[in-house]
Chains A and B, each alone.
Chain A
Amino acid sequence: MNSDKKMIFQKTSKNTFLFENIDSEKTINEILGNDIINENIPDFPDVPENEVVRHYLKLSQLNFSVDNGFYPLGSCTMKYNPKINERVAVNPGFLNTHPYFDEKHTQGNLELMYELGEYLKDITGMDAVTLQPVAGAHGEMTGLHIIRKYHEKKGNTHKNIIIMPDSAHGTNPASAALAGFKVVEIPSDEHGCIDIEKLEKVVDENTAGFMVTNPNTLGLYDRNIMKISEIFHKVDAVLYYDGANLNAIMGKVKPGDMGFDIVHMNLHKTFSTPHGGGGPGSGPVTVKKRLAEYLPVPVVEKKEHNYFLNFDKPDSIGRIHSYYGNFQVLVKAYSYIRMLGREGLKKSSEMAVLNANFMAARLKEHYYLPYDRICMHEFVLSAKKIKKDTGVSAMDIAKRLLDYGYHAPTMYFPLIVEEALMIEPTETETVENLEKFCDVLIKIKQECYDNHELLHQAPVSTPIRRTDDVKAARQPKFNFFNDFNND
Chain B
Amino acid sequence: MHFFPHLPENEIKILKELNVQNINELFSDISSQNINPELKIPEGMSELEVDRLLSSKALKNNISNVLSFAGAGIYPHYVPSVIDEISGRGEYYTAYTPYQPEVSQGTLQTIYEFQSYICALTGLDVANASMYDGATALAEACLLALANKKGKKIILSAGVHPEYKKVIQTYLSCTDAEIEEVGLNEHGTTDISKLKTILDKDTAAVVISNPNFFGNIENEYNEFLNLKNEFGFIFIGSVNPVAQFVLKNSKHYGFDVVTGEGQPLGMYQSFGGPCLGFFAASSKYARKMPGRIVGLTTDADGKDCFVLTLQAREQHIRRDKATSNICSNQALCASRATMYMSLLGKTGMQNLAAVNLKKSRRLLSILEKYGFKKVFSAEFFNEFTVSHNQAEDIYNKLLQKDIVLGVKLSDFHGGSYNDKLLVCCTENFLDEDFERLEKSLKEVIK
Contact = CB atoms under 8 A, between A and B. Distances in A.
A108 B272 contact: no
A257 interface: yes
A86 B324 CA distance: 31
A321 B132 contact: yes
Contacts of B404: 98, 101-102, 105
B3 A105 contact: no
Given A105-B66, A134-B132, A19 B173 contact: no
A119 interface: yes
Interface string A107-141: 11101100000110011010000000011111011
B98 interface: yes
A126 B97 CA distance: 30
B331 A277 contact: yes
Contacts of B375: none
A206 to B, nearest CB: 16
A464 B47 contact: no
A364 to B, nearest CB: 12
Contact of B315 (A109, A170, A337, A466): A170
A252 B30 contact: yes
A413 B217 CA distance: 49
A322 B245 CA distance: 24
B129 interface: yes
A478 B293 contact: yes
B7 to A, nearest CB: 9
Contact of A321 (B23, B136, B143): B136
Which among B70, B132, B302 has the highest number of chain A CB atoms within 10 Å? B132
Given A88-B55, A257-B37, A318-B173, A106 B271 contact: yes
B351 A19 contact: yes
Which among B85, B103, B300, B348 has the highest number of chain A CB atoms within 10 Å? B103
Interface residues of B, number: 196
A121 B236 CA distance: 39
A19 B427 contact: yes
Nearest to A61: B91
Which among A78, A97, A469, A482 has the highest number of chain B CB atoms within 10 Å? A97
A179 interface: yes
Contacts of A107: 60-62
A398 interface: yes
B41 A122 contact: yes
A66 interface: yes
A351 interface: yes
B120 A42 contact: yes
A170 B99 CA distance: 15
A66 B309 CA distance: 24
B175 A180 contact: yes
A459 B102 contact: yes
B379 A36 contact: yes
B297 A134 contact: no
Interface string B125-154: 111011011111000000100000000000
B47 to A, nearest CB: 5
Given A80-B3, A428-B5, A476 B30 contact: no
Given A108-B57, A223-B31, A47 B345 contact: yes
Contacts of B318: 170, 174
B6 interface: yes
Contact of A174 (B27, B94, B325, B379): B325
Interface stretch (A5-13, A197-205, A443-451): A5-13
B275 A108 contact: no
A173 interface: yes
A452 interface: no
Contacts of A8: 113, 338, 342
A407 B399 contact: no
A179 B171 CA distance: 8
Nearest to B316: A170
Contact of A73 (B53, B84, B96, B333): B96
Interface string B399-413: 100001001000100
B446 interface: no
Interface in B328-383: 328-333, 335, 338-339, 341-348, 350-355, 357-358, 361, 379
B86 A24 contact: no
B62 A317 contact: no
B137 to A, nearest CB: 10
Contacts of A145: 170, 173-174
Interface string B1-39: 111111000110111011000010111111101111101
Interface in A155-185: 169-171, 173-181, 183
A174 B298 CA distance: 31
A345 interface: yes
Interface string B286-311: 10000011111111111111010110
Interface in B169-219: 169-171, 173-175, 217, 219
A402 B346 contact: no
B299 A466 contact: yes
B445 interface: no
B353 A28 contact: yes
Contacts of A171: 315-316, 325, 327
A95 B96 CA distance: 24
Nearest to B116: A480
B332 A276 contact: yes
Contacts of A100: 70, 72, 74, 407, 411
B328 A413 contact: no
A347 B27 CA distance: 13
Given A137-B326, A339-B47, A472 B297 contact: yes
Contacts of B173: 145, 148, 317-318
B91 A17 contact: no
Given A105-B66, A107-B60, A62 B106 contact: yes
Which among B2, B62, B247 has the highest number of chain A CB atoms within 10 Å? B2
Contact of A329 (B113, B274, B361, B427): B274
Given A254-B37, A323-B163, A278 B94 contact: no
Given A44-B345, A91-B58, A57 B86 contact: yes
B96 A27 contact: no
Contacts of A393: none
B351 A319 contact: no
B34 A466 contact: no
Contacts of A40: 123, 249, 251
29 contacts: A15-B347, A20-B351, A22-B358, A38-B247, A42-B346, A46-B345, A57-B86, A62-B103, A68-B91, A86-B88, A93-B58, A105-B404, A125-B37, A171-B327, A173-B320, A249-B30, A278-B96, A317-B170, A319-B166, A320-B167, A322-B135, A322-B164, A327-B271, A327-B272, A340-B44, A398-B100, A467-B101, A478-B116, A481-B116
Query: Which 6 pairs across A and B sit closest by C-beta, in order of nearness?
Result: A46-B345, A323-B272, A341-B44, A180-B174, A93-B58, A67-B90
